[in-house]
Amino acid sequence: MRFITFLVTTILVTTIMMFSFLAIAIADEQKEESSKLEFSGIMESNFSYITNESEDESDLYLNKMELSADASLNPRVNGHLLFAYEHGENESITLDEGSVDLKFPVKPLEFSLSLGRVVVPFGVFNTHFATEPFTLEMGEIKHNAISISLSHSIIEASVALYNSETKVDGEDTSHIKDFSAMIKGSTPENFLAGKASISLGVSFIRDVTGLESISDMLGESTVAKKVAGVNGFASLNVMGVFLEGELIQTLDDLEASEGKELKPSSFNIELGYRLPDLPIELAGKFEQLSKREGNSTKRFGGVISTGFAHDKASLKLEILRIDDGEAAQNAITTQLAINF
């Protein structure tokens, strides 16, 4: 049975790749197209001041650095590399993403395939704050996978196949058995003369223990079975007023060894306003992260930000209140960031 599963998976993946290469070969133009290599990146520097019941703390640090290299052989064949450093996560610069991407039109749609270490389609994690939301901390997953997407001007569907290597009691984890999928829609660019936009969607993941934050919660524990998770997100922008909402929920309890029982979930809601004719934005948020019923951390606060250098740079001042039910603290963060 395992051999049959492996054989079917191998044939499926190989067929998809062969079809992609064949379609690209047929669609290739006769004339030679020049290759391009482009670099881009992000740098964020933070100053933070934290107050709690016992003492105050302050720190100045490089919060994040990303350097991306994108090689384009032609409009249909691309390569992508992303090197990243993140304060408190990576002690050194690591290869965060790396993939070969194939794209070609199947009018009126566009089909694309990525193979390598990619962002698995689960959640979007929009935020206007300097601090990453709980939904991103819980839900973002990058994995060695094959990712396939089909997109239109107003709708996009994507799916990824991978092996999460979850430690499940009595189950073989050496084969590709896991997947995630997402479908999202958005209004066209000229919706209400460009004065409003709406996007929303849902995603599903077969095994939430493949998510990094949940894997950290489990530690060395194994789980009795894999548990699926769902995600929903929506974004609304009307004449400068914006609303972001996102939710992640596991569909069952995680029954782990050593007596651990978890049912993680998180949500994030942000409401704000961008001033007309000025690069200034005000926003407030409320979010929550739960490990199990009755055990949650709440976070709320506000941010003011301004963009400059043609919106390639930004300065943010953020104030957040964090309460886990046992203790509370206030965090003030100033962030200077550039995109290049």
**Among candidates 205, 209, 208, which has minimal Cα distance to 221?**
209
Neighbours of 287 (CB within 10 A): 22
Give the model's pLDDT for residue 263: 85
Neighbours of 218 (CB within 10 A): 18
Task: Report d(CA 204, CA 210) in Å as an integer.
Answer: 13
**pLDDT at position 149 over 90:** yes
For the entire predicted model, the pTM comes to: 0.85
**pLDDT at position 5 over 70:** no
Q: What does the block give as tokens for 207?
A: 């095994």
Which of 174-178, 251-255, 301-305, 306-310 shows the highest mean pLDDT?
Answer: 301-305
What is the chain's Cα-based Rg?
22
Please state the rounded mean pLDDT for residues 176-194: 88
**pLDDT-derived band of residue 15, with 50, 70 and 90 as boundaries?**
low
Residue type, 197: S
Give the model's pLDDT for residue 323: 94
Omega before 105 cis (within 30°)?
A: no
**pLDDT-derived band of residue 148, with 50, 70 and 90 as boundaries?**
very high
Task: Report d(CA 10, CA 44) in Å as an integer.
Answer: 42
**pLDDT at position 291 over 90:** no
Residue type, 9: T
**pLDDT at position 161 over 50:** yes
**pLDDT at position 1 over 60:** no
Q: Which domains does the chain have, with CATH numbers?
A: 2-25+37-339 (2.40.160.10)
| DSSP designation for 107 | T
Residues whose CB falls within 8 Å of the CB of residue 136, separated by 6 or more in sequence, listed in order: 123, 125, 127
Instruction: State the DSSP H helix or E strand holding residue 268, giving kind and residue range, or none if neither.
Output: strand 265-274
For the chain, how far is it from start to end, CA to CA, in angstroms? 51
**Among candidates 163, 180, 184, 183, which has minimal Cα distance to 172?**
163
Task: Say if residues 162 and 174 touch (Cβ distance below 8 Å).
Answer: no
**Among candidates 75, 81, 83, 82, which has minimal Cα distance to 36?**
75
pLDDT digits 0-9 by tens, 116-138: 999 999 999 999 999 999 999 99
238 beta partners: 196, 241
pLDDT digits 0-9 by tens, 224-266: 788 899 999 999 999 999 999 999 999 988 877 766 778 889 9
Q: Which of 3-12, 157-166, 272-281 has the lowest mean pLDDT?
A: 3-12
Q: What does the block give as tokens for 304?
A: 């003011």
